[in-house]
């Protein structure tokens, strides 16, 4: 199987780089310089019409959108490596639910918070307060989940932990801190300490 990973360091491609490292999956990498607009060249748009990283090309067919790539990696490589639950198990349903929760529900709130606090043209104290309140409510949900589990799916680490932690970790950089959520804070530290999360990815 041929895998070509299009990426840029310290970008939204980083979670996929960490997942590939965690799984130990052999692949080729092509760096796309998003600072210089390389993601908008005709050559790259022919691969990923969305014009962003990450993109993973599998035997000539591209998968774009980080969540789609994560779910495919989990199904294709994670089950045999013990890092993703088998199909038709309750754990698989939970993994899919929490990964979507992170990328869709929580990321939407974090995006609102970033725009309302960091974007000069869109800075708005009321919007920031509303987004912060929503983030706190969601972190309470996650804290409750982790209060009864060592990891997202129970007793063992999985790619679901990596996926959710990457989004929650990004949230801490834009103002959604986790210090008030002890189970989340302890879990996040454990995920971020893993070897696959280290280095220039």
pLDDT tens digits, 8-53: 999 999 999 999 999 999 999 999 999 999 999 999 999 999 999 9
Q: Provide the pLDDT for residue 178.
A: 98
pTM of this structure: 0.94
**Residue 201, pLDDT above cutoff 70:** no
Query: How confident is the model over 53-60, as a mean pLDDT?
Result: 98
Q: What is the third-level CATH fold of 3-78?
A: Glutaredoxin (3.40.30)
For the chain, give the number of residues: 201
Q: What is the 3-state secondary structure (H, E, C) of 72-125?
A: HHHHHHHCCCCCCCCCCCHHHHHHHHHHHHHHHHHHHHHHHHHHHHHCCCCCCH
CB 19 within 8 A of CB 44: no
> Pairing between strand 55-58 and 28-31?
unpaired
CA nearest to 71, candidates 53, 48, 49, 93: 93
Question: How many CB atoms lie under 10 A from the CB of residue 28?
Answer: 10
Domain definitions of the chain by residue range: 3-78, 90-197
Q: What is the third-level CATH fold of 90-197?
A: Glutathione S-transferase Yfyf (Class Pi); Chain A, domain 2 (1.20.1050)
């Amino acid at each position: 199987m041929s895998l070509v990973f299009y990426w840029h360091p310290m970008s939204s491609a980083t979670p996929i780089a960490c997942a590939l490292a965690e799984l130990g999956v052999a692949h080729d990498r092509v760096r796309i310089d998003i600072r210089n607009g390389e993601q908008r060249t005709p050559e790259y748009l022919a691969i990923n019409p969305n014009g962003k990283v990450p993109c993973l090309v599998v035997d000539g067919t591209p998968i774009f959108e980080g969540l789609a790539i994560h779910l495919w990696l989990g199904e294709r490589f994670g089950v045999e490596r013990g890092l993703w639950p088998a199909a038709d198990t309750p754990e698989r349903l939970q993994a899919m639910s929490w990964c979507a929760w992170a990328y869709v529900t929580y990321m939407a709130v974090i995006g609102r918070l970033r725009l309302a606090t960091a974007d000069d043209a869109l800075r708005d104290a009321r919007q920031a307060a509303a987004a912060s309140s929503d983030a706190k409510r969601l972190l309470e949900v996650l804290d409750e989940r982790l209060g009864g589990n060592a990891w997202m799916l129970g007793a063992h680490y999985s790619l679901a932990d990596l996926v959710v932690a990457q989004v929650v970790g990004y949230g801490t950089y834009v103002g959604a801190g986790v210090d008030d959520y002890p189970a989340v804070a302890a879990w996040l530290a454990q995920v971020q300490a893993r070897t696959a999360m280290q280095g220039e990815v």
